[in-house]
Homo-oligomer: A and B are copies of this chain.
Amino acid sequence: MSDMGITVKKTEDFSEWYVQVVLKSGLADYAPVKGCMIFRELSYAVWEKVQEVFNKKIKSTGHKNVYFPLFIPESYLKKEAEHFEGFVPEVAWVTMGGNTPLEERLAVRPTSETIIYATFGKWIRSWRDLPIKLNQWCSVVRWETEATKLFLRTREFLWQEGHTAHTTKEEADKEVLEILEAYRDIMENHLAIPVLSGKKTENEKFAGALYTMALEAMMPDGKALQMGTSHNLGQHFSEVFDIKFLNEQEKASYVWQTSWGISTRMIGAVVMIHGDDKGLVLPPKIAPVQAVIVPIPYKEEGNEAILTKAKTLLGELQKEGVEVILDDREEYTPGWKFNEWELKGVPIRIEIGPRDVKQKQVMLARRDTHEKTAVKEEEAIVTVKDLLEKIQTNLFNKAQEILRSNITTARNMDVFKEVLKKKGGFIKASWCSDSKCEERIKEETGATIRVISSDEEPFAECVYCGKKANHVVYFAKAY
Binding site for B on A (CB under 8 A): 29, 31-33, 36-41, 44-45, 47-48, 64-73, 76, 88-99, 105-106, 108, 115, 118-119, 122-123, 128, 134, 138-139, 141, 143, 145, 155-156, 158, 331
Is there contact, CB below 8 Å, between B91 and A66? no
**Which residues on B sit within 8 Å (CB–CB) of A70?**
36, 70, 108, 139, 141, 156
A31 to B119, CA, bound (A): 8
Closest to A97 in B: B143
| Smallest CB gap from A115: residue in B | B32
Partner of A108, one of B39, B108, B122, B128: B108
Asked, given contacts A29-B119, A33-B73, whether A66 binds B94 with beta carbons under 8 Å apart, the answer is no
Check B139 against A67 for contact (C-beta < 8 Å): yes
Interface of A is mostly: mixed
Report if A91-B98 is in contact (Cβ < 8 Å); known contacts: A41-B65, A67-B39. Answer: yes
What are 19 A-B interface contacts by the 8 Å CB criterion?
A29-B119, A29-B123, A31-B115, A32-B73, A32-B119, A36-B71, A37-B69, A38-B68, A41-B66, A44-B66, A45-B64, A70-B156, A71-B156, A90-B98, A92-B94, A92-B97, A93-B95, A94-B95, A108-B108
B contact residues around A93 at 8 Å (CB)? 94-97
Q: Which residue of B lies closest to A138 (CB)?
A: B139
Nearest CB in chain B: distance from A90 CB, A: 6
Alpha-carbon distance between A51 and B139 when the two chains are bound, in angstroms? 18
A97 to chain B, nearest CB (A): 4
Our pick among B45, B89, B108 for the contact of A99 (Cβ within 8 Å) is B89
Question: Is the CB–CB distance between A38 and B139 below 8 Å?
Answer: no
What B residues does A122 contact at CB under 8 A? 29
Copies of the chain in the assembly:
2
> A118 CA to B36 CA in the complex, in Å?
14
> Known: A98-B143, A108-B94, A143-B97. Contact between A45 and B71, CB under 8 A?
no
Report whether B69 and A118 are in contact in the complex, using a CB–CB cutoff of 8 Å: no
The answer on a CB contact under 8 Å between B69 and A31 is: yes
Residues of B with C-beta under 8 A to A32: 73, 76, 115, 118-119
